[in-house]
Chain A
């Protein structure tokens, strides 16, 4: 049995430390997904908390035979992100995320040279601005594949769409993002 599945079982028996371990192992994944999708640190924190609250309440519905825990976690996160996007668009608050893009708060390994740090920070910021100009469908597909490292099967499980659709969205998302970055004057690596 996978470590995550064992932790889930312990959590269901009321073991608090196991829940802490589960949160510790996956907070980064959830936060990154939320931040890359929303482009806002405060929203990403709130959404991350909301994700874990929902996971905590529905942990009993998770069954390891239906997929890995990270995939289920990503699926719950994605659904909340979609809800958040719809609410935001309805309220006309974050339709133009590019205008309210915050400074990235990345921290890097102290072993990296300062110029590398600056370059990585600039790269991340450019990428975030480009992602903000994609449609939500293409954005989430690219984030899950290229920034979260999920394979097509996992993404299919998260998005609940056929694998052909997943591939198509990822491909279109990459092409569109590349063109957007080119328009922004970002040269290819």
Chain B
């Protein structure tokens, strides 16, 4: 069979795909073996077909399917596959996580504020902490002692009142003030309550500032009773 380079080119794909009849294939091969140009071309195309056969399919960009579906079916809520990098943000919007985050943030703010302090004085400074604790202990002790003293005063008054009920059943006149008008001859009346109060002399002659200093309740410091000063208890 007469064969030439033009015919080799025309039937090249058929030859490489095994679609040539046996007689044509033999003529093709015989020509190609003897023709450098055709031999080279056959090798090139065979190599090209092999390369293309081995070439992998390209991967589809991830958002393309979603784009197509959105364009055709309309935009829908994202699925787990399409949440992507921002899917984790949805967790934050749950109330329990949001509350937790707010609490932690508030704690940090308080701690940092305390650490920074005001006017350079830090509440977290060990010396300031020690001073504060010392002050608090003393205040607590002083308040406790004051409460005990008040209770003792109340109990003592009650006990004395119960010991002399007849002397206190009568109305008690206001205490007689010392004479200030220079009348030395004036004597107190015979039934002056001052005499009755001789049994409890320290309940007399107490002034309002003194009572106030003893930190008594107003009912007890209303002039009728004058408990003993704190130092005498």
Residues of A within 8 A of B (CB): 16, 19-20, 23-24, 27-28, 31-32, 35, 41, 45, 48-49, 52-53, 56, 104-108, 120, 123-124, 127, 142, 146-147, 167, 170-171, 174-175, 177-179, 181-182, 187-189
Contact = CB atoms under 8 A, between A and B. Distances in A.
B57 A28 contact: yes
Nearest to B74: A16
24 contacts: A16-B73, A20-B73, A23-B65, A27-B64, A28-B59, A31-B64, A45-B61, A45-B67, A52-B72, A53-B72, A106-B56, A106-B59, A120-B55, A120-B56, A123-B51, A123-B54, A124-B56, A127-B52, A146-B53, A167-B14, A171-B13, A174-B49, A175-B12, A181-B44
Given A19-B73, A189-B47, A49 B64 contact: yes
A19 B71 CA distance: 12
A142 B51 CA distance: 13
Given A107-B59, A124-B56, A171-B13, A52 B68 contact: yes
A178 B41 contact: yes
Nearest to A31: B60
Given A171-B12, A174-B45, A188-B47, A108 B56 contact: yes
A188 B51 CA distance: 8
A185 to B, nearest CB: 13
Interface of B: 9-10, 12-14, 41, 43-61, 64-65, 67-69, 71-73
Contacts of B54: 120, 123, 189
Output the residue of B49, B51, B67, B69 with the most chain A CB within 10 A.
Answer: B51
Contact of A48 (B46, B59, B64): B64
Contacts of B53: 146
B13 A170 contact: yes
A147 B52 contact: yes
A59 to B, nearest CB: 10
A31 B65 CA distance: 10
Nearest to B9: A175
A56 B72 CA distance: 7
Contacts of A45: 61, 64, 67
B65 A178 contact: no
Output the residue of A20, A167, A178 with the most chain B CB within 10 A.
Answer: A178
Contact of A189 (B9, B10, B41, B50): B50
A130 to B, nearest CB: 9
A123 B51 CA distance: 8
A29 to B, nearest CB: 8
B60 A53 contact: no
Contacts of A171: 9-10, 12-14
Nearest to B73: A16
A104 B57 CA distance: 11
A56 B45 CA distance: 39
The 4 closest A-B pairs by CB, nearest first: A188-B47, A178-B44, A171-B13, A146-B52
A168 to B, nearest CB: 8
Contacts of A142: 52
Contacts of A48: 64, 68
Contacts of A124: 55-56, 58
A174 B43 CA distance: 12
Contacts of B69: 19-20, 23
A107 B9 CA distance: 36
A188 B50 CA distance: 9
Nearest to B46: A188
B209 to A, nearest CB: 93
Nearest to B10: A171
A41 to B, nearest CB: 7
A83 to B, nearest CB: 18
A141 B68 CA distance: 26
